[in-house]
Every structure is written in structure tokens, then in C-alpha cells.
């Protein structure tokens, strides 16, 4: 009986595109290394369905496909380069380090994007100098993959990313901040704090605040409290403080969630007026942040926030983070509350923390 793999390889040359497509698909199922080179040739097929089947088959064949795909990265046909780089984005290993670094210079942004992803998968520090220029690529998707790749490489990319915080091109600075956020290294905190107060671009400053929250280093707390005074950063600073989880900020967040203007006495709190959209969002975020920190000191303020339509849902969700400890505070409120909307959120919160009606 004829060899099944050989039969399907031969079928890749059939005049009927449907037969070629079926053959490529079956070769992916059979997973025989003999099919690799014929399938790479099928990446040049005139029919899209056949090309897609070849991509799927080469992906299914796994690491055995990698060396042959490296050669496809320099194929005259851009569609072949795109297909090969897309497969290598998920299969790349050290054998294709150099070809992928060379592919970063491709005139095709899809090839550059996939090559950057593949280099991130490999994680070799040797790729750092080749990836850094892509932080200023004209295509956003390429910049983002380069940023992710540098983060995946890790500590070896740190020095270059910190240096990039001073780059003349704002896009380079922006994606350097994003990569540092993915790295989440404490070594980035001080450079990021300098950027927070020296950077002129508002979008970059916003990303710096997000990144400081992602790193979760308490050294950033006092500085984030300072930038809470800036309307454009206040919401993000509150969220970052919640992620960091330092209990020192709980009293401050309690004031925010109650709607007390910072720097004014607690009894001066007034309901939010129509149009205070940013302030409303910040109050809700403060409730979430208090739930992240889960310090019992915040429970009374979150209960107050339950009565405010602006913060009710966020306060209820935050209270569930405290577990059964909130039951003694919420049950008396449920017994006396007349507002059905408030009662609904009280019951939902109590149920979420383990209380059941009628249980002694």
C-alpha cells in the first residue's frame, strides 16, 4: 500500500485547489517531518485556502517546522514572509534568533510585528538592541509587540528601557513605560517617579501612574498622593494606590469615596452635582481601591457610599472583599433601610459574604 504521507505530499501539486487544501490539512494531522518542506512550498500557493491550510499544518507540526520557516523569512513573496513569521511567533526558538532579528528590518509591518513576538518568545538578551528601535515604529501593533518582547526578555532589557524614558520621541518614551509596566521590576520605580514629575506628555504621565500601580511598590505611595491633586491623574492615582495596597492611604480614600473635597473638613461633604463626571468616577474608583486594600477601617465609609447612587455598586462590590466581617455592620442597616435599591445591594453583598436569611 502506498505511503499515506507521500500520497498527500503528491496531492499538494494537484490542479484542484480543494484537493491541495485537503492534503495540507491532512499532513498537519499526520505530523510527519517529511511534510515540512512541501508545506513551506504550499505557502506560495495561488489559492488562499491552501495557504491557510499549510499555515495550520506547519503550526501543528511544531518545532520540526522551525528551521525551514526561517528560510521563508527572506522569501521574495511577502505573503510567504508573513505566513512564516506568524507561525514562528508561536513556535520560535533559539535556532531562529538571528533570522528573526533580521526580519525586524522588513518593509512589511506584519512581518516586523510577528518577528518581535517571536523574539519575545525566545527571550534572548541578544535581541534587545534590535528590538529597541521598534519602539518608534510607525505602526502601533509593531510598537506594542516590541514592548511586550522587551518585557518578556526581562532584566537584560531594563537598562535600555530606562534610558528610553529620556528619548526625544514621545512614542519611544510611551512604549518604554508600557514595557516597564509589564516587567514590574522594583528597579524601575525611581526612574518612573522622575518621569512622572518631569514628563510633559499627559498620556505618558497617565501610563507612568498605571505602571507604578502595576509594580506595587510602596515607595510610590507618597508621590501618587501628590498627583491625586491633578484632575487628569486623580482617577488613575486612586486606582494605583488600590493596587499597591498600602493601608496608610485608607483614610484619604475614605474621604474620596464619601465625596469630601481633599483638604476640607469631613463635615463639609456635599452631594456630587450634575456634570462632575470625573469626580464621580474617582469616588467609584476609591470604593474599588478600598476593596482591594480590605482594611476594616474603611467599612463605615463604604456603608455611607452604599447610600449614594454614584458609588453604590462599587461600594457593594468592595464590601464583599471583606468577607463575613461585614455582616454585623450590614444586617442592622438591612433591617432599617427603606430604599429598595439600597436593600437589594445589601442583600446581594450579604449573600456574597456567606449570610443566608433565616440562618441563626
What span, in angstroms and rounded, lies between the C-alpha atoms of 244 and 213?
6
For residue 201 the three cell numbers come to 506628555
For residue 287 the three cell numbers come to 470604593
Strands (E), the chain: none
**pTM higher than 0.95:** no
For residue 248 the three cell numbers come to 496608610
| 137-146 confidence digits (pLDDT tens) | 999 999 999 9
pLDDT band of 279, cuts 50, 70, 90? confident
Q: Give, in order, the Cα–Cα distances in Å from 336 to each of 20, 288, 326, 340.
A: 74, 26, 16, 11
How many CB atoms within 10 Å of residue 205? 21
| 219-254 confidence digits (pLDDT tens) | 999 999 999 999 889 999 999 999 999 999 999 999
pLDDT for residue 10 is more than 80: yes
pLDDT value, residue 260 = 84
E strand or H helix at 11: helix 4-11
pLDDT value, residue 278 = 82
pLDDT for residue 360 is more than 50: no
| 151-178 confidence digits (pLDDT tens) | 999 999 999 999 999 999 999 999 999 9
Got the DSSP string for 218-264?
GGGHHHHHHHTTSHHHHHHHHHHHHHHT-GGGHHHHHHHHTTPPTTS
Q: Give, in order, the Cα–Cα distances in Å from 266 to each of 78, 197, 256.
A: 65, 29, 10
For residue 103 the three cell numbers come to 526580519
- Best CA proximity match to 178, nearest among 220, 221, 134, 124: 134
pLDDT band of 270, cuts 50, 70, 90? very low
- Best CA proximity match to 147, nearest among 109, 175, 167: 175
Asked whether 303 and 333 are in contact (CB, 8 A), the reply is yes
pLDDT value, residue 358 = 59
What span, in angstroms and rounded, lies between the C-alpha atoms of 180 and 59?
31
pLDDT value, residue 138 = 94
pLDDT value, residue 2 = 52
* Structural domains of the chain, with CATH: 1-121 (1.25.10.10), 140-215 (1.25.10.10), 248-360 (no CATH)
Asked whether 107 and 85 are in contact (CB, 8 A), the reply is no
What span, in angstroms and rounded, lies between the C-alpha atoms of 129 and 141?
19
Instruction: Give the mean pLDDT of 58-68.
Output: 97
Chain mean position to CA 80: 30
pLDDT for residue 123 is more than 70: yes
pLDDT for residue 298 is more than 90: yes
Instruction: Give the mean pLDDT of 290-304.
Output: 96
What span, in angstroms and rounded, lies between the C-alpha atoms of 116 and 101?
8
pLDDT for residue 271 is more than 80: no
Say what percent of the chain tops pLDDT 70.
94
Amino acid at each position: 500500500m502506498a505511503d499515506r504521507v507521500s500520497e498527500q505530499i503528491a496531492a499538494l501539486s494537484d490542479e484542484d485547489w480543494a484537493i491541495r487544501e485537503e492534503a495540507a490539512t491532512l499532513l498537519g494531522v499526520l505530523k510527519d517531518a517529511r511534510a515540512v518542506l512541501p508545506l513551506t512550498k504550499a505557502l506560495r500557493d495561488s489559492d488562499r485556502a491552501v495557504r491557510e491550510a499549510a499555515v495550520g499544518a506547519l503550526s501543528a507540526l511544531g518545532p520540526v517546522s522551525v528551521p525551514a520557516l526561517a528560510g521563508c523569512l527572506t522569501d521574495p513573496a511577502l505573503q510567504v514572509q508573513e505566513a512564516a513569521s506568524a507561525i514562528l511567533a508561536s513556535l520560535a526558538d533559539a535556532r531562529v534568533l538571528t533570522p528573526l532579528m533580521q526580519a525586524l528590518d522588513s518593509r512589511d509591518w506584519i512581518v516586523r510585528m510577528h518577528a518581535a513576538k517571536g523574539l519575545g518568545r525566545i527571550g534572548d538578551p541578544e535581541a534587545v538592541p534590535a528590538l529597541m528601535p521598534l519602539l518608534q515604529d510607525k505602526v502601533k501593533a509593531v510598537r506594542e509587540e516590541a514592548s511586550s518582547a522587551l518585557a518578556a526578555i526581562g532584566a537584560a532589557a531594563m537598562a535600555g528601557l530606562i534610558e528610553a524614558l529620556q528619548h526625544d520621541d514621545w512614542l519611544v518614551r510611551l512604549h518604554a513605560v508600557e514595557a516597564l509596566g509589564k516587567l514590574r521590576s522594583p528597579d524601575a520605580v525611581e526612574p518612573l517617579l522622575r518621569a512622572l514629575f518631569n514628563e510633559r506628555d499627559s498620556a505618558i504621565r497617565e501610563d507612568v501612574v498605571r505602571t507604578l500601580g502595576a509594580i506595587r511598590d510602596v515607595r510610590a505611595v507618597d508621590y501618587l498622593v501628590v498627583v491625586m491633586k491633578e484632575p487628569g491623574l486623580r482617577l488613575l492615582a486612586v486606582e494605583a494606590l488600590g493596587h499597591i495596597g498600602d493601608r496608610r492611604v485608607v483614610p484619604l480614600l475614605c474621604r474620596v469615596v464619601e465625596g469630601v473635597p481633599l483638604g476640607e473638613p469631613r463635615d463639609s461633604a456635599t452631594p456630587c452635582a450634575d456634570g462632575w463626571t470625573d469626580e464621580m468616577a474617582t469616588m467609584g474608583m476609591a470604593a474599588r481601591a478600598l476593596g482591594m486594600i480590605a482594611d476594616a477601617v474603611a467599612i463605615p465609609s463604604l456603608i455611607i457610599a452604599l447610600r449614594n447612587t454614584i458609588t453604590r455598586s462599587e461600594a457593594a462590590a468592595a464590601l464583599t472583599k471583606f468577607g463575613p466581617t461585614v455582616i454585623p455592620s450590614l444586617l442592622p442597616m438591612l433591617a432599617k433601610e427603606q430604599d429598595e435599591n439600597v436593600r437589594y445591594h445589601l442583600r446581594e453583598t450579604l449573600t456574597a459574604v456567606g449570610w443566608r436569611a433565616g440562618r441563626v
